[in-house]
Structure 1
Amino acid sequence: MTVQAILNVKGSDVVSVLPDERVGAAVQTMMRHGIGAVLVRDPVGAVLGILSERDVMRGIARGGAACLGEAVETLATRDVVCCRPQDGIGHVMGLMTRGRFRHLPVMRDGALAGIVSIGDVVKHRLAEVENEARALREYVAAG
């Protein structure tokens, strides 16, 4: 299974914020959408970074609640690891595990094609395993 298969099911919508938006507003955006990260993009749409719940917690640990009034760009992770639609689920799981992050933007020919979370990956991997098990049971029953 590929990342594209996940995007085919979940869609390619990506929630993003501008770099000068306040962290508190970005947190409200994440809460409203039920997500754990937002992409930080410039007005043209170029990906500048990603702000995750973990980034916000680090900001609070360093400077307290005052960090919620800071610009998103002060807390966002700038070196964003991305994947491609044709990448396999195993590859993506490896990237997330090694990098210790849970959200991965998907880039196609230099343009943002979507975002996948560890939850998306696990859900689709479980479905794949269940389908394989069902096919094996049917094969054995028919034999």
Structure 2
Amino acid sequence: MKVETILAAKGHSVVTVRAEDPVSKLVSTLAAKGIGAVIVADADGGVAGIMTERDVVRVIASDGREALDRPVGDFMTRKVVTATPHDTLDFLSERMTRGKFRHVPIMDHDRLVGIVSIGDVVKHRIESIEAEASAMRDYIATA
């Protein structure tokens, strides 16, 4: 199974902020959208960085409330691991597990085409297992 399967089901929408936006705007965006990560877009619409709920907690723990007024670019993860729509879910799962992160921007060449979370991967795997079990039950019932 490929990453594009997940994107086809969940869509290609990606929430972004800019590096110069204050962390408080990023926090408001996370809360309003009910998401765990935001892509920091560069001027060309590419990926300049990523910032997650965990990152925000670390920033506030180390720099205090004043960090909320500082730019996202001061704290974002700049070295972002990405995947492509053509990568397999096994490859993506291994990459997320090994890197200990839960969100991966999906790039088609230099264009951001989606984001996949570990929750998306798990949901897809559960749906596949349930469909397989249902097919087996149907096969046994007709045999």
Please indicate the TM-score interval, normalised by the length of the shorter structure: over 0.9
Question: What does 1:64-103 align with in structure 2 at a 5 Å threshold?
Answer: 64-103=64-103
Give 1:76's aligned amino acid.
M
Name the residue aligned to 2:116: 116
The answer to whether the 8 Å contact 1:37/1:52 transfers is yes
Residue identity opposite 1:21 in structure 2:
D
- The one-letter code matched in structure 2 to 1:4 is E
How is 1:1-143 mapped onto 2 (pairs within 5 angstroms)?
Answer: 1-143=1-143
Matched letter for residue 30 of structure 2: M
What is the DSSP-based 3-state SS (H/G/I as helix, E as strand, rest coil) of the residue aligned with 1:107?
strand
Tell me the TM-score normalized by structure 2: 0.96
Which secondary structure does the structure 2 equivalent of 1:131 belong to? helix
Give the RMSD, CA atoms, in angstroms.
1.0
The share of aligned pairs that are identical, in percent, is 48
Runs of 4+ in structure 1 displaced over 2 angstroms? Answer: none
SS at match of 2:44: coil
8 A Cα contact 1:106 1:113, kept in partner? yes
* TM-score, scaled to structure 1: 0.96
Give per-residue Cα distances to partners, 1:21-57, cap 9 Å, x unaligned. 0001111011111101100012221210001011111
- Partner of 1:84: helix, strand, or coil? coil
User: Number of aligned pairs?
Assistant: 143
SS at match of 1:54: helix
Question: Is the CA contact (8 Å cut-off) linking 1:89 and 1:125 kept in structure 2?
Answer: no
Q: Distance in 1 between matches of 2:83 and 2:71?
A: 27
User: Matched residues in 2 for 1:44 and 1:4: separation?
Assistant: 23
* Structure 2, gaps ≥5 residues long: none
Counterpart secondary structure, 1:38: strand
